[in-house]
């Protein structure tokens, strides 16, 4: 009995420590930025959310959307002729010259790595004829391809406009979508690039201090910075370990240091506390006498200590962490196998043949039995 009590006490102590550790982790995750979201890059599970649907100004995080839109809607080998409007754009530049001819991919690199506003305008004019048309087309693209709900852009670079806004949630969705493109992913993780232009020859460096290694942090796979006075400091970052890939967005931080502190806290929390499991195709869920399943083996995100799950009456699998739904997965109704008239006839024919076969076997055994019985009777 004493051993049993000791075992229970030990088990309680272990569980208490886990709960205390988890509570401390949640309490330590104090995000100072106005809005933030931490999302699983592969499943879309939202692992942390602070005002993630509040409409805010993204500044240069806009360029993530501009880059993937241009990559998917133009030829990267095109040679772009730089206009005077592009050259005279305000803000950060890669110092293009009017009339300079630059490959489209190089402009996208200059826009993402060095945050060149002039490069962004040159891209927009080449892809859609004007900055205004580029913004209109990009807004449609983001809704149809990515599924954003609260985003409206008026330019390709994020310079302030009252009608140029998005949310942390939409930016995470845009980044996740873009990262699936190998060209975007390659540029997004580039730390430095030799730049040979008509008036500027240098090595351009990413402005993202985590990606650059200026702030040591393992697992960073990409990033983009942003700042205008109205948006304050914005930051998009991707990271991964052997268990999970993450996207972190922070908006409207009062300082650059605050945006990086928030990002480190988010990513550290995600990498340490979450992993994937697979909902297998043959795993069945029953709700109100209906049977549901997934069409294919499907990834879901859960806490390393386990997450709750529930099935709604409409067949939606909800994965929950700390009482919050972090991922929803629509399941398929598993229909009973339909048998055609032809198959029914074949089955009936096979059943009939089998019954006849059983009958023959039965009579054969009966005949043998009767024959043996008669011989035994005669001998008696």
CATH number of 32-273: 3.40.710.10
Q: Are 138 and 132 in contact (CB under 8 A)?
A: no
Helix, strand and coil content of the chain, in percent to the nearest 5, comes to 45, 25, 30
CB atoms within 10 A of CB 288: 8
Annotated domain spans of the chain: 32-273, 280-360
CA 175/CA 262 separation, integer angstroms: 18
Q: How far is CA 216 from CA 40, 212, 237, in A?
A: 22, 9, 14
**Strands of 27-185, DSSP E:** 35-40, 46-50, 79-81, 101-103
Q: Are 327 and 44 in contact (CB under 8 A)?
A: yes
- For 76, the token pair is 């990267």
Single pTM value for the model:
0.82
> pLDDT (tens digit, 0 to 9) for every residue of the chain, 380 residues total?
444 444 444 434 444 444 334 444 544 689 999 999 999 999 999 999 999 999 999 999 999 999 999 999 999 999 999 999 999 999 999 999 999 999 999 999 999 999 999 999 999 999 999 999 999 999 999 999 999 999 999 999 999 999 999 999 999 999 999 999 999 999 999 999 999 999 999 999 999 999 999 999 999 999 999 999 999 999 999 999 999 999 999 999 999 999 999 999 999 999 999 999 998 988 888 887 788 888 889 999 999 999 898 889 888 999 999 888 999 988 988 766 554 555 555 645 655 555 565 556 655 555 555 554 555 445 44
Q: Are 242 and 12 in contact (CB under 8 A)?
A: no
Instruction: HSE, CB side, 13 Å, CA atoms: give it for residue 261.
Output: 12
């Amino acid at each position: 009995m004493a051993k049993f009590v000791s075992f229970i006490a030990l088990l309680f102590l272990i569980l208490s420590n886990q709960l205390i550790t988890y509570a401390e982790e949640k309490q330590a995750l104090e995000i100072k930025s106005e809005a933030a979201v931490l999302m699983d890059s592969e499943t879309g599970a939202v692992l942390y959310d602070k005002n993630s649907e509040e409409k805010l100004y993204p500044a240069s995080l806009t360029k993530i959307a501009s880059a993937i839109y241009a990559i998917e809607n133009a030829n990267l080998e095109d040679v772009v002729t730089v206009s005077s409007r592009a050259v005279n754009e305000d803000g950060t530049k890669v110092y293009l010259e009017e009339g300079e001819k630059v490959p489209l991919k190089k402009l996208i690199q200059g826009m993402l790595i060095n945050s060149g506003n002039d490069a962004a305008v040159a891209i927009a004019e080449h892809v859609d004829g004007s900055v205004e048309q580029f913004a209109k087309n990009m807004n449609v693209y983001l809704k149809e391809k990515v599924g954003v709900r609260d985003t409206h852009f008026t330019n390709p670079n994020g310079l302030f406009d009252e009608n140029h806004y998005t949310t942390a949630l939409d930016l995470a969705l845009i980044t996740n979508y873009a990262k699936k493109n190998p060209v975007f992913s390659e540029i997004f993780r580039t730390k430095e690039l030799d730049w040979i232009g008509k008036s500027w020859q240098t090595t351009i460096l990413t402005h993202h201090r985590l990606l650059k290694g200026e702030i040591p942090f393992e697992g960073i796979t990409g990033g983009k910075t942003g700042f205008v006075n109205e948006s304050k400091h914005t930051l998009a970052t991707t990271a991964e370990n052997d268990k999970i890939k993450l996207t972190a967005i922070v908006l409207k931080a009062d300082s650059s240091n605050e945006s990086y502190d928030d990002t480190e806290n988010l990513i550290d929390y995600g990498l340490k506390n979450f992993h994937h499991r697979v909902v297998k195709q043959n795993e069945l869920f029953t709700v109100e006498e209906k049977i549901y399943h997934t069409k294919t083996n499907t990834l879901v995100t859960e806490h390393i200590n386990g997450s709750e799950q529930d099935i709604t009456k409409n067949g939606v699998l909800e994965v929950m962490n700390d009482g919050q739904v972090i991922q929803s997965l629509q399941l398929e109704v598993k229909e009973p196998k339909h048998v055609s008239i032809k198959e029914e006839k074949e089955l009936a024919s096979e059943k009939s043949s089998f019954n006849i076969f059983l009958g023959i076997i039965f009579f054969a055994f009966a005949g043998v039995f009767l024959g043996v019985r008669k011989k035994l009777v005669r001998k008696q």
